[in-house]
Amino acid sequence: MAKGILVIAEQRGGTLRKISFELVSEGRRLADQSGEPLAVAVLGHQINEEAKKLAAYGAETIYVADAPELADYTPEAFTAVLSELIKTKEPDMVLGGASQQGKELTAKLAARLETGLAMDCVGLRLEDGLLIARRPLYAGKVYADVVCETARPQMVSCRPNVFSILEPDASRTAEVVAIAVSIKPEDLRTKLVEELADQSGKVDLTEATCIVSGGRGMKDSVNFVILEKLAEVIGATVGASRSAVDAGWRPQSDQVGQTGKVVNPNLYVACGISGAIQHLAGMGSSKVIVAVNKDPDAPIFQKADYGIVGDLFEVVPILEEEFKKIM
């Protein structure tokens, strides 16, 4: 009989990503409610010591697959290793991240395991032993509660920056179990040739707790400097709407929206962004939304918690100065 909760951790360059700590923390809450054990799977190379950090967040067992072939994420190799682990251990629930990597990996795993998958979840709860997953539909206009009634394991992928991270408890310990890795040639069809790392040093949009974004109203790429200045003061990451990216003002990696990155910061400041449905789909779940737009009828104001009707080139510098005074 299937039992237990398995979290799929995510690492890059040998360092655990924030979503891993969020998933383990949420897994710990579910494990405490259900009385089932919590395990974590970590794949990588020379990752053993890094994986042990998850014990402080509630992991009871840490399965480590350590091999040179797993140093970089490849969908076929990761799917092969994890599917064998899940078939062997038979967990009742599997939690993954809805990051770019996690969305691909959990979808391939669900297909390989012939089970269901609730994608991009923003809430989890237990009812009579079933995992109820809440996920947005129609670009966030409605939310659906999804349940996998018969197939096992129950699988979900969770949106980054949604679940709070538990305070680490250094007294917690976990059993670290090495997984034997046997990678077949057919499991290495994808090969990482080159990684072009972001040299800006800024926090990735999907992990940022504060974002300042600009849209068509910015008028030119050089004008984004005023958003950079505000972002520096409040410790934010700068994003952009699709129209700003399409105009060549910002790189595609900065795009927030349905065809860009889905973000969930504590604070989202939208400057010169009208609020097209595609953009709202990418940031509508932000905890606090502030909009600055000279058009009082801009759709963004319907979603914003706070709105300022005015010229962003006048308003943003004032915001910057005011934040400097209080921070």
- pLDDT grade for 199, boundaries at 50, 70 and 90: low
Quick: pLDDT tens for 286-301.
899 999 999 999 999 9
Task: Express as a percent the part of the chain with pLDDT over 90.
Answer: 66
Using CA atoms, how far apart are residues 322 and 327, in angstroms rounded to an integer? 9
Count of structural domains within the chain = 2
Greatest Cα pair distance, the chain, in angstroms, is: 63
Per DSSP, the three-state class of 83 is helix
Using CA atoms, how far apart are residues 318 and 327, in angstroms rounded to an integer? 14
In a domain, 200, yes or no: no
**Can you give the residue range of the structural domain that contains 34?**
5-188
- What pLDDT, on a 0 to 100 scale, did the predictor assign at position 3? 84
- pLDDT grade for 245, boundaries at 50, 70 and 90: very high
In a domain, 166, yes or no: yes
- What pLDDT, on a 0 to 100 scale, did the predictor assign at position 317? 94
**Cβ-contact 236, 320 below 8 angstroms:** no
Give the CATH number of the domain where residue 279 resides: 3.40.50.1220
Using CA atoms, how far apart are residues 127 and 104, in angstroms rounded to an integer? 28
Q: Which residue has the tokens 């924030």?
A: 18
In a domain, 197, yes or no: no
Quick: pLDDT tens for 129-163.
899 999 988 777 788 999 988 889 999 999 988 89
- What pLDDT, on a 0 to 100 scale, did the predictor assign at position 202? 74
- What pLDDT, on a 0 to 100 scale, did the predictor assign at position 197? 66
Instruction: Identify whether residues 219 and 93 lie together within a single domain.
Output: no
Instruction: Identify whether residues 66 and 133 lie together within a single domain.
Output: yes
